Structure formats: C-alpha cells, structure tokens
Amino acid sequence: MLRINVDEDEVAIIAWAQEELGETPEKVSLWDIDGERIECMIRLSASVVVAVLVGDGEIKIDEQRLTIAAENWTPGSVQANRRPDGCIRVRYRRRRIDITAEIKSPHSVASLLEGWLLEMRGEAQLPRDRNRRIANLKRERESIRRMLEQGSLERIQEEVDKVKEKITNAEIELSGRLSMKSKAEPESES
C-alpha cells in the first residue's frame, strides 16, 4: 500500500507492526502521542490491534496490546468505557487495555474498531441481527432514562418537602405539649 504524508510516529508504528506482527498495517489511527509514548489503533488484513507503544525514535516496544481477530469477533463485543480515573478501558472478551481519554469519546474507539472488523468480514452494513441491535439501543435508552430520573431534582425537592412537613408537624406537636404543660403547672401549684 502506497502511503503519502506519513509522519514519523506513523512510520515508527508501521515499522513496529512489521517487526512484531509480521505484516504492514492497512490503516493506522493515532489516538494519543505523549513524548515517547504512542497510543494507536492498527488495522491489519485479518485483525485489529489497540497498542500502547513506548520508546525513542524508530525503536518501539509494546507496553500494552489488545489484538482482536476478525474471525473470532462478534458484533458488539468490543466495549469501551470511561474509567473514574479518566482513562478509557477497551475490553474484548476477558482482555482489556487502558488508553488516555482524549477529546474523543469511548464510543468512538469501539465504533472505529467494530467498523474495521465489519469491513474485514465484508459486512459494511449493520450486523445481521438487526433486532438485537434495536433491543440493545432500547436497553441503553431505558438505562439513561433511569439515570436521569435518579438525578432529577424533582425527587430531591419532594424529599425536602416531606422533611419540612415532618419538622412543621413536630414543631406543632411540641408547641401543643408545651402549652398543655404550662396550663397544667399553674393549676397544680394552687
């Protein structure tokens, strides 16, 4: 494949892939470059790789690597979630890799990888089981609705109103008891 305008980081990734993976990448997506550390997604002929490479210049070693073979992959099995520490965890089956959370969302990582894998299988359209995808979207929508409901200020306001009512009732009850005591005390003194 002829490449034009390839920067030196991409050249280092291509050299690493040829050395470590035994083939030239079809596509390389640079995710984050921080000094001597490169996070990238690599599309090969029959798999995709998420890699965190470290090293200086042309020589790179993989700090972390997650390889997903197209033949073993099922649509929807690549998951990416933002972690509490801010990084993005990409998971496939029982394997995982953490990458830096850049401006892009975790969904964009999973979408890119799944898109490449779909293309490799010749399935440029949606996965065959359209109903499963629709059901997943409905579940996600319901989950988001529940989270919004839980975070709703209306529920909190209702709880505050209930507590205020209890306090008011308690004050009324206490003031009623106090007035009854004060009436009862003078009578007992006489």
pLDDT per residue over 98-118, tens digit each?
888 766 778 888 888 988 988
How confident is the model at residue 58, as a pLDDT? 62
Q: How confident is the model at residue 184 (pLDDT cuts 50, 70, 90)?
A: low
The rounded mean pLDDT for the chain is 80
| Residue 133 included in any domain | no
Residues 118 and 25 in one domain: yes
**CATH number of the domain encompassing residue 99:** 2.30.29
How confident is the model at residue 110, as a pLDDT? 87
Q: Determine the 3-state secondary structure of 82 from DSSP.
A: strand
How confident is the model at residue 128, as a pLDDT? 54
Residue 49 has pLDDT above 90, yes or no: yes
| Residue 134 included in any domain | no
Specify whether the CB–CB gap between 43 and 13 falls below 8 A. no
From 126, 144, 179, the end of a domain falls on 126
Residues 93 and 178 in one domain: no
Residues 16 and 56 in one domain: yes
Q: Determine the 3-state secondary structure of 41 from DSSP.
A: strand
| Stronger pLDDT, 133 or 27, i.e. the higher one | 27
| Other CB atoms within 10 Å distance of the CB of residue 110 | 20
How confident is the model at residue 134, as a pLDDT? 80
Mean pLDDT value across residues 182-187: 60
Residues 171 and 91 in one domain: no
Residue burial 144-157, b: 16+ Cβ < 10 Å; e: rest:
eeeeeeeeeeeeee
How confident is the model at residue 125, as a pLDDT? 47
How confident is the model at residue 157, as a pLDDT? 82
Residues 31 and 85 in one domain: yes
pTM to 2 decimals? Answer: 0.58
User: Which residues have CB under 8 Å from 34's CB, separation 6+?
Assistant: 100
User: How large a percentage of the chain has pLDDT more than 70?
Assistant: 83
Q: Determine the 3-state secondary structure of 61 from DSSP.
A: strand
| Other CB atoms within 10 Å distance of the CB of residue 183 | 9
User: Which residues have CB under 8 Å from 85's CB, separation 6+?
Assistant: none
For residue 179, what are the domain limits? 153-190
Give me the amino acid identity at 108: S
Q: How confident is the model at residue 167 (pLDDT cuts 50, 70, 90)?
A: very high
| Residue 142 included in any domain | no
